[in-house]
Structure 1
């Protein structure tokens, strides 16, 4: 190998967590279907410790104990409640409870107050405890594991609930001694711990007739439980009190999950109970407190099913929903309700798609909440139904909300015939009725029934069309948005066209065709739909139409001094032009996109709209990067790098992790490209580090598509770094990265991305073939490029097709050289000429120049195989034409590689014509390449350059020019080249150098 070949790239367990509480009076049902019912006796001790004397008091445990005791008593427990007990009284209470439980079937112990843990033991903290209590903890505090062990040895079922996971009330450096003479142990910082050390609460052996134990904590390990507002119940106790009635006919574990998720929702995801359950039979409770009825009953029933659905959701989806709730300021309950109404099997697996769904539905929820106070109706029944619907949405009972609104609409339709004939009363009635349809449309959209939503918005529009201009505009606009959402979700072209028609109808509302602000906003909305449709067209006609509409809006927004909408239009123009420019060989569209983004930034100042500013900076970087692929200079890449780095000043990992990772990925691509142009290993290393950082956010589990894209880009960066080493280890790492990307990018689901990875895989097998001289690797490379070309067809993707043709030419050239089969070289020449059919110097100067250089190299090899001087002259001409673009300043590595190739062709031409007249030119070409290929920056290429230059002097001496000095100069250069190969660990050329050195020494001796 006399020089590298440039290649084009595509960028682009834990314990079961269950809520806890049980009711009694009842039957156990074994896991068998024919289980026999049996009345059981249950005893309960409820403890509430509020009035602490020496550590911080707690306002609510006494309330919790009182209310839980009443509830258990109503359910048939023999329940006793105690509050504010010192150590001696609390121990007597527990001893009495153990005695009372000896003939019971179920023992229920509930504790609310302070609790601590040390060395695997959990302690209840009596109200008289102080720091001194820690020096004799077994006496001054109440260890709980011995109590649990005794209950388990005598009672079939033991239930222990500890609403005590509050922060440690003692000093942070305090130590605990079980007895004054015992060794000291540190306290856990988070109160009680469910499982620690050898004395885990559930570790005691079960009696032969023991049916199991349930141990519940109000919060997860290491997390504090909230006490609630003073005078109320803790969130844990409140959830227990609310959902216990569900025990009638519902299995124990399901109710406990309801309690867990109720606390989770009530605390806005700050607290989630933890449960360790070891029941060996399913447990049901027959008796029930009074259940809510009517609207409340319908809401409560659906909410309980929602809680069970939440319990089954994986943590990544849960985290994404929590983030959307906090970001958009909508109730967590309502967002979960929307997803349950959608159906868990239809929830998008891709985090990006789920983010879009959540953002869309959160916006709709905000709109519903904002407009509810504006609803006016004189019908008390409709008022009641609408109020119930609002309550249902707040609690995530979306289906119930829609049921109430169905009833409200039915009432509207039932009463429509008795509307007063007076015009004002008719107007008010129609507006009120339309609001009901619109509200049901909102609810339909929340369950993703956009088609039904569009129908109801249309009915609302029909009702107000002649009564209220503002409302008719609003409802028709919402109908258009719903039709667009339905068309986008289903690919229904008719719905998309109906959306466009709806926007055209809105434009007719504007008097005298006035091109005002409303006109501009409506046309922009319509252009977004047209752009969406145009993305799936093979031609760019609709994309260009959208761009023209956006442009027409600019004059209006400028006249109205509406900078926000003006900048949004410019940003939209830039995005459309980028999409057009990606398909067009003329870079003019990309340049116009860059101008549009710059214009948008002028009206999107960082200090006023930082996120919009950062978004446009990122878009600008993408456009600059795209343009850099059409130009031969690195300036555009440097501008893209600057744009991305500015965006990252706003998009931080802490505040905007998804956008941060997106921009990091884009920055990595730009650093990689800069490294290629400058032959700079530091750029490749920085790019790889940036991609790895992005992968810390873009995990496969959470963002599979983004993960695959970044794996692909990481592989690209690693590949480019391999030019600075000689082994195959890093190349194999690249293959691993590409194979990982292909586990997501399948041809069936993602043909474009699959083709991109196959293209890059072809380059890796090409490089492996160069390192190992294995023809099988080149065959794999050619197959991969042909795979990519089967997707990148010339008709649909001319530039991508040209890229794969160029890459295929490189592989076939190397294969022909290694196999010494001219047929491969002729195939390579055809592939380069195919690429040059699309690559034009005016529109794609760098790819054109690289293809000319590759063509020249292959023509040289074919000429030498056939002894054809005419073809050799064509080789030199092709390479020299490439240097018109590949300058030392703009593309030093490619310039040096081409200079080296020209030198080789000139030496070969000198040999074929048996004349030394080309050797001076060859010498100048090799020396020029060594201005870039230095021992420090490119040691292998430097060694090859020295060897080639040595060939010049050897040939000069052979032709009789220079005599012994030329032989000595050749010998000196061959020695340096051999040492360079040895220092780099590249052993393959060393034998060749030894042979040259030996021959020159013999010829020198003969002189």
Structure 2
């Protein structure tokens, strides 16, 4: 329902001195004893299915239920729903006719409505924005309806139920007629109806005994609609209290309705009534009152509602604040004050606050302990449930009666319980063992969720009977929850695991920092570590690291080498995770040191599997550190550590660990293969990832599966360097897409960003090979998506890598789209990358970003004819070559040399000089150490073409026929390389160059 309007003037909030309408069969005239039968007619309107504005869920339900209630009360009630303007007006006209001769006319309206210019309008279901231009015809003014009813009916009652939103545009205006002045739609609820007169203004001759107009909310304020499929708060309160008054004055009834809505909506909504009755009225015989427990609760709640209606606003505000602050029901707090007695409620706000705070704390404690109550006596269960219901509704006296009866029932049965207690203890322990055994079996097949549930059940059975078993089962529950969360990414399971460990820590006497304390906190830290890996913030990782450090001190004191080594290894792994996000390699060096220390406590001959675990962790730390160093020594050490681990971790004995090492080894091999241009290494990496996926299936280990799919995509991307087509690239893109089905941004933001970044690189290469601008635009979008997570403050290196990758794509877009602006953007992207790619912390990435900047400046300078850009390009690439060497990064080194040579040629052409040709030739010739015809025919062909350009320039700048002949020879070599590489599209351009050289030779 939706009435919207603005508030004007002072509003009456309560029904003080209300002349009453009573729920009986007769009408009584004041100061007279005569009674007579009362005739009442009612029209109930529910508007839900609007055609052009927002539909409403509940009005049809409200109307149907109100019609039944009024019929039960003796009214001749008619219910209509979803009426357009014509039908709604006919309904009201017919009702006005039917009401003539009746004693009471009752209208209930639930639906959209608006207020404008002091008039309230009902909105038919066919209304739209154009209806506002002639509101007198297209909408239904309420005052006109009431004016007609007052002429023929002694008592008119109109109850208007409205919802919270204006269905029309905020700036819409209303005209009563097309030529009338425009009025804005009010922003709140309805206004007082103009047809209602104050009691003192009525004359003795006036045929009307008065009017009651009820609003679902105070004038100028919207009302709530309630849950879908139920009743609005206002309708629900009317249905609850109008049906069962039996002699209670109508003013009291409506005060009950008002406070019922107030409580039900947690003080968000309070109904309002305008009345001008001059007689006492009694309606029909009320339907049966609630009986049993509900009857007792309802009776006391009605008294509570009347008590609340008399409380002044300042005291209401204090009760509302206490309810909100302490999270206890508003109804219950008012019930507490009623139990105290209104005459004893402190007048001083501070004293009242103390009372409210104290009782709110007791209510919280009762609510918290409610779930702990267990009984097999159905009568006690009923009484306790009724007591809870009574407390929630503020019926404190009734609640105590229920609990008195429950205690009496308990005392009757106490002797039998004592006799059975020892048998119960034995039975509980035996039952718990069965649950634990099933949990063990579930964990063996990696169904950690089921295992956790069974361990929890076992714990609940023994908690009060056996201290040792409760510790054991709760610990196993925590471990299973942690394992489930780790393998599936279920954050709720991880949080429950933390809470389970906190329960265990509470069992340690006097909070002693003993060995059990250290082991439990160590396990808890492992869960914090798992959570921290999935977050962009490092707070949980830092907390885990500190716990591991605290554990080390205890294990050192206890001379517990096994647990000391476990804590040390965990500390190294957490430091590694933190270090990966920082520019400074300090934490990574600390992680490597921690892993090496772990190996000293885990000798292979005594602890072969622990030794293998330490080797695996050492390899991972060395791999991460290798990214901060220019040479490949750390990668070689990492590979060696992984291969040692595989000597103990075999697929037959330890399949999960074996697959993990295969995955990590694959990452190392990919990086080595790319740096050294070693196809065999990359092929070995692909093989390792495919092997890992035989164990890391999506069904059993979804997160591990997604990680390995992501890594396989990286390996396939590296393998694509040695292929001409796009097969490996397309397979890599599919692998990244698979990973993204698990790594959603909400649950795994960093993994999601990593997959987006890698996908961007794949689209970049696909766009380059297929000359497809759309693919390059996809690449840009993927890098920009990754940067939504990789913000500089939290992930400086990942942020810089995104800009580096973006710069390469923008350069390609500039070439393929012939839009120079892309070159400007590329230069900016590489300069951003260099803000975090520092030579002293990440030398290799710094060198690659310098080389990328050099390439972007070269394109930018060539496009703009800017010699300075070309000179800066050469300087940037030469800086990169201070780190990139032919031995440690052959392909990147050769690309930088080739870029220098190309830029020197372009600079010479721009300055019309041949002085750069020797340096250009030297650069191109140097690349042939890496770009060989056998291994990389396309790159070799490119350098042959470049050398041809050098000698062509020499010949053109005063050289002889010998230079032109060498140029032709190099161009012929290039054609052969293009043919062998499968890129025949470059041959026509090379043939054209040969023809031009021959033409120049002919003129000599």
User: Please, what TM-score do these two structures have when normalized by structure 2?
Assistant: 0.52
**2:978 maps to 1:981:** yes
Deviations 1:945-970, CA, capped at 9 Å, x for gaps: 1111221121122111x422221221
Deviations 1:56-106, CA, capped at 9 Å, x for gaps: xxxxxxxxxxxxxxxxxxxxxxxxxxxxxxxxxxxxxxxxxxxxxxxxxxx
| Residue equivalent to 2:944 | 946
| Residue equivalent to 1:763 | 761
* In structure 1, distance between residues paired with 2:712 and 2:738: 11
Deviations 1:720-767, CA, capped at 9 Å, x for gaps: 222222222332233333333334444454443333222222222211
Residues 503 and 707 of structure 1, relative CA distance in 2, 3 Å threshold: closer
* In structure 2, distance between residues paired with 1:702 and 1:491: 17
Deviations 1:930-953, CA, capped at 9 Å, x for gaps: 111111221111111111122112
* In structure 2, distance between residues paired with 1:385 and 1:504: 25
**2:700 maps to 1:697:** no
Number of positions where the alignment pairs a residue of Structure 1 with one of Structure 2 = 572
Secondary structure of 2:984 counterpart: coil
Deviations 1:375-422, CA, capped at 9 Å, x for gaps: xxx99955544554455456559999xxxxxxxxxxxxxxxxxxxxxx
Residues 692 and 796 of structure 1, relative CA distance in 2, 3 Å threshold: same
* In structure 2, distance between residues paired with 1:672 and 1:494: 38
**2:1003 maps to 1:1006:** yes
**Contact map agreement 1:668 1:688 (CA 8 A) in 2:** yes
| Residue equivalent to 2:872 | 874
**Contact map agreement 2:890 2:930 (CA 8 A) in 1:** yes
CA RMSD in angstroms, aligned pairs only: 3.6
Tell me the CA shift for residue 559 of structure 1.
5.2
* In structure 2, distance between residues paired with 1:507 and 1:392: 28
**Contact map agreement 1:869 1:909 (CA 8 A) in 2:** yes
| Residue equivalent to 2:818 | 820
Residues 534 and 708 of structure 1, relative CA distance in 2, 3 Å threshold: closer
**Contact map agreement 1:484 1:496 (CA 8 A) in 2:** no
**Contact map agreement 2:534 2:748 (CA 8 A) in 1:** no
* In structure 1, distance between residues paired with 2:893 and 2:955: 28
Q: 2:588 aligns with which of 590, 597, 603?
A: 590
Tell me the CA shift for residue 478 of structure 1.
8.0
| Residue equivalent to 2:631 | 633
Matches within 5 A, 1:645-684: 645-684=643-682
Tell me the CA shift for residue 589 of structure 1.
0.7
Secondary structure of 1:838 counterpart: coil
Deviates more, 1:531-540 or 1:988-997: 531-540
* In structure 1, distance between residues paired with 2:711 and 2:647: 23
**Contact map agreement 1:451 1:486 (CA 8 A) in 2:** no
Residues 707 and 491 of structure 1, relative CA distance in 2, 3 Å threshold: closer
Deviations 1:537-559, CA, capped at 9 Å, x for gaps: 65435534543443354455445
* In structure 1, distance between residues paired with 2:508 and 2:429: 30
* In structure 2, distance between residues paired with 1:640 and 1:444: 37
Q: 1:686 aligns with which of 678, 684, 692?
A: 684
* In structure 1, distance between residues paired with 2:898 and 2:656: 46
* In structure 2, distance between residues paired with 1:387 and 1:685: 61
Structure 2 gap ranges (5+):
1-416, 440-448, 486-490
Higher relative contact order (CA 8 A, sep 6+): 1
Matches within 5 A, 1:134-149: none
* In structure 2, distance between residues paired with 1:691 and 1:492: 28
* In structure 1, distance between residues paired with 2:498 and 2:875: 54
**Contact map agreement 2:952 2:997 (CA 8 A) in 1:** yes
Tell me the CA shift for residue 699 of structure 1.
2.8
| Residue equivalent to 2:453 | 447
Deviations 1:354-376, CA, capped at 9 Å, x for gaps: xxxxxxxxxxxxxxxxxxxxxxx
| Residue equivalent to 2:773 | 775
Choose 1 or 2 for highest CA Rg. Answer: 2
Residues 393 and 855 of structure 1, relative CA distance in 2, 3 Å threshold: same
Residues 525 and 750 of structure 1, relative CA distance in 2, 3 Å threshold: closer
Q: 2:724 aligns with which of 712, 723, 726?
A: 726
Residues 450 and 702 of structure 1, relative CA distance in 2, 3 Å threshold: closer
**Contact map agreement 2:458 2:473 (CA 8 A) in 1:** no
Secondary structure of 2:835 counterpart: helix
| Residue equivalent to 2:569 | 571
* In structure 1, distance between residues paired with 2:904 and 2:988: 25
Residues 710 and 844 of structure 1, relative CA distance in 2, 3 Å threshold: same
Matches within 5 A, 1:118-157: none
Q: 2:783 aligns with which of 782, 785, 802?
A: 785
Q: 1:966 aligns with which of 960, 963, 967?
A: 963
**Contact map agreement 2:901 2:923 (CA 8 A) in 1:** yes
Q: 1:490 aligns with which of 492, 510, 518?
A: 492
**Contact map agreement 2:494 2:527 (CA 8 A) in 1:** no
Residues 532 and 847 of structure 1, relative CA distance in 2, 3 Å threshold: same
Structure 1 gap ranges (5+):
1-377, 401-442, 465-470
Matches within 5 A, 1:64-463: 381-382=420-421, 384-389=423-428, 392-393=431-432, 447=453
| Residue equivalent to 2:930 | 932
Residues 981 and 483 of structure 1, relative CA distance in 2, 3 Å threshold: closer
Tell me the CA shift for residue 486 of structure 1.
8.1
* In structure 2, distance between residues paired with 1:498 and 1:706: 25
**Contact map agreement 2:478 2:496 (CA 8 A) in 1:** no
* In structure 1, distance between residues paired with 2:777 and 2:506: 57
Secondary structure of 2:698 counterpart: coil
